[in-house]
Amino acid sequence: MLKVVSYVICPFVQRITGLLEAKGVHYDIEYISLKDKPKWFLDIAPNAQVPLLITEDNIPLSESDAIAEYLDDEFPLLRPEINKSACRARQRAWVYQGTKLYLKQCSHMQSGNQQIFEKRQ
């Protein structure tokens, strides 16, 4: 069974678990502390970030874009007559835009004081 390694709340993990749910793929999820990452996780996660997907063949995959692409290849959801190449390109473009906005929002939310908050606003 697939295993997703996650932090309690992470939109990049939510993207992967949402995709798994939409495809009806069964998976386990394990939550870790990002402040105290377990050694086993650091040993297999090249960027030490979540999400990390461990395949049924025990291969660790990182980066939500790469994981989503793997899931689309392994568990097709699209009808065969749809141009997968164009569809995937459009999905990548929207994911890229969403990621840019999310990272700006995170920076804004982590402002240390009012002055930094207003500057980032």
User: Which residues are part of the catalytic machinery?
Assistant: 10
Dihedral sign computed on CA atoms, order 68, 69, 70, 75: positive
Q: Which residue has the tokens 């606003």?
A: 121
Note whether 16 and 42 are within 8 A (CB): no
Helical residues (DSSP H) of 7-83, grouped into ranges: 11-23, 39-44, 64-74
Q: Which residue has the tokens 């678990």?
A: 17
Sheet containing 52-54: order of strands: 27-31, 2-6, 52-54, 60-62
